[in-house]
Each structure stands twice: as structure tokens, then as C-alpha cells.
Amino acid sequence: MDETLSLGRIAGVRIGLHWSVLVIISLVTVALAHGRFPAAHPGHSAFAYWALAVLTAVVFLVSLLAHELAHAVVARRNGVQVEGITLWMLGGAARLRDEAPSPAAEFRIAGVGPLTSLLAGAALGGIAVGLNALHTSGLVVEAVTWLAAINVLLAVFNALPAAPLDGGRLLRAYLWHRTGDRLRATRGATAAGRVLGWFMVLSGFADVLFAGDLAGLWPALIGWFLITAATAEARQAQIRGLLDGVPVGPVMTPDPVTVQATATLTDFLAEGPFGPYRHSAFPVLAADGSVVGLLTVRRVDATPAQARAHTTVHEVMRPLGEVVTATPEEPVLDLLPRLEESPTRRALVLDRGRLVGILTVADITRALAWPTTATRPGPDGPPEHRPELSKET
């Protein structure tokens, strides 16, 4: 889930908002201002209902952030790199770059989220009781009580043993500990996630069709998200299993077609789009043969046609400092997150500073799609047997 608006960093973790956060803020605000608050405490002004509803929705988002931030902090303490946190319509997502190193670490990282929400719910519940004892406005007590209840509900729901929920991570940690096989444990947790997702989808639509309750669309939406996320997680686990231990060297395209930095764009375009210039990106070499950047056809196309005759490749290329680089010995799994984040989705492979290849997401996809009887080379030894891809993938 890509962020739309960056909010800076908390404890070194980048925090962002997705545009769909506006949806959850709107839904919560309208439900409270038009429904719960007037029904429970009539007689207040519309401004009071709306102002308190907006404040309550914001505090709810803060509680979601606390939940995800707890995951991120514990993940870093267990040696897992955290890319950031993005809040979106259905809650939040802490983006972890690596897998947990052990079942115990997985258990700690997953369990701290529901625990944080449960503690927040308990604290807010205590505040609500205290405010009521002080004879604070019933409307304010109602808002704090709702926040307490929703945090407890969030903790309970996230603890369900189904991926990608936190409970699914706890289930995976348990299965991983019992079997010693992380991939098998992931399959079990994601299967549980799909089962829960389909149950929510079917029960939600049943409410709409047979009871006429449009609120059933909400669990159906969440269920569909669970199905999609669990399926994607299972696929990612399969990819990790297939690529585990595979270095960049055998997967990359060796000796890629290059272009000289001093060439004009007109000269470059005259060589394509057939023959060796059939690609969409080319490493750029200086006069001494060192690689200095990457030229993409998109950047050439963005240059006005009348300027291409006197514009050099060096002027429009993406400098080497902005390009993902790797070594032939680097594991593909370590490179994959950086590759997916890169605007060009390519990495230049360098051996002691010399260009030896280029790796794209398509190269990795092609390797994964190779017939299942193939073997995969290790970094030093003989080829290892390559696990079989299921027909579903």
C-alpha cells in the first residue's frame, strides 16, 4: 500500500497516509455524528456532535498508528528492517523488509500489535470510568467509551488465527516452531486467512440479500481484503522459497547492450527499435568503459524531438547514484525489495565496479516460470534441486 502523504518519522520509522484514510475518517465521523452520539445523548448542538465525532475519528487513527508502530519497534529490536507504516482505509500496515529470523521473533512481532490495542482499550476504558465519576459531559464519556470498545474489538479481531491478521502471524510462528518449515507454516496461516475471508464475504452478502442490512457490505469488504492479502502473502512466500539462496549472477542478463554517454539521442534512436536496441533501458558507459548511469526510452521520449540532435545521453540518463546496483554474489531475495521500489525496476550488476549484467523484475519472473524439473545454482557449489511451483502459481 503506497502512501499518498508523508507525515514524517516517529522513532525513526517513516509514517504515511494513503488517500483512502479519508474514507474511514468520513465513515466514522458520519456514523458517530449522525447516529451513535445523538441517539445516546440527544439535545446537543449539531456542531458539538460533529466536532466530537471528528476528534474521535482522529484519535481512532492515532490508536491504529500506535498498533502498527508497536509492530515496527519490536521488529527492529529483533533485527528486521522496517520500511515504514502506511495508514489506509482498513487500518494500517507496517512494511517489513525482511522475514523474522525465528519463530520466537515472529511471535513477539505479531503479538505486540493486539496487546497494544488491548492496553489502549483498557486505558481508555479507565479514562471513561474516571470521567463519568467526575460528572463530565455524557457525550464526552460516550466518545471515550466508543474508543475503548473499538480498540478492544480491534485487538480481538486482529488476534484471529488467520493471515494476514496478527493472529495469522502467531499461527505461523506456532506452525513454524512445530514443523521447522517456514513455507509450510505460511501456507497453513494463509489458508486460514482465505477461509475466514470467504466466511466474512458470504455472511456479509447473506445479510444484504436475506436481511436487507446494507451494513453487511462492510464485513464483505474486509473479507475480500483478507482473501486478496492472504493469497498475495502465500505467493510471496512461494517466491521466497524458490529464490532462497539464489545469487543474482545466474538470474541476471549478462553483458547487456550499452550506450555511450557522449552519443546524441538522435544517434541512439537511429539504432532502434530492432536489433540489439530492442530493450527499454540501457546502461550508460563513459569513455573509459566505466558505468555512469542508466538511459530509459521513457526519458528519451520526454525530450523534445527538435532537441535530440544536440542532446547527449549523459544529459538525460539517470545517474548511477539513482540506480539500484548489486553484485553477482548478492542474494536475489535481498535485492528484490529495492528492485520493486525502483522507478526503473532494474538493477545494474557490478563486479569490482565493472558492469557485468542487468537484472529486471522480468528476469526474476522468467526464472520462477522455468519448468519445475530445473535446478538452481548455488553461489559456489553444484546446482541444487529447485522446488516445484504449484499449478496455482
Residues designated as active site? 68
Q: How would you class 148 by CB atoms within 10 Å of its CB: exposed for 0-12, middle for 13-18, buried for 19 or more? A: buried
CA 83, CA 99: separation in Å to the nearest integer?
13
- The burial of 209, by beta-carbon neighbours within 10 Å (0-12 exposed, 13-18 middle, 19 or more buried), is given as exposed
- Strand residue runs (E) in the chain: 5-10, 13-17, 82-88, 91-96, 253-254, 259-260, 281-285, 291-296, 318-319, 324-326, 346-351, 354-360, 375-376, 384-385
Which residues are paired to 355 by β-bridges?
A: 350
In degrees and rounded to multiples of 5, residue 375 shows phi and psi of -115, 160
Please answer whether residues 109 and 73 qualify as being in contact, where contact means their C-beta atoms are separated by less than 8 angstroms. no
Q: Could you give the CA distance from residue 243 to residue 361 in angstroms, rounded to a whole number?
A: 13
Take residue 14 and report the three cell numbers written for it. Answer: 517513516
> What is d(CA 222, CA 335) in angstroms, rounded to the nearest whole number?
32
C-alpha–C-alpha distance, residues 163 and 257, integer Å: 43
Nearest to 202 by CA among 213, 187, 217: 217
Distance CA 341, CA 285 (A): 24
Half-sphere exposure of 332 (CA within 13 A, CB side): 29
φ and ψ at residue 285, rounded to 5 degrees: -110, 145
The grid coordinates of residue 387 equal: 522446488
Strand partners, 85: 15, 94
Angle (deg, nearest 10), helices 103-133 and 46-77? 150
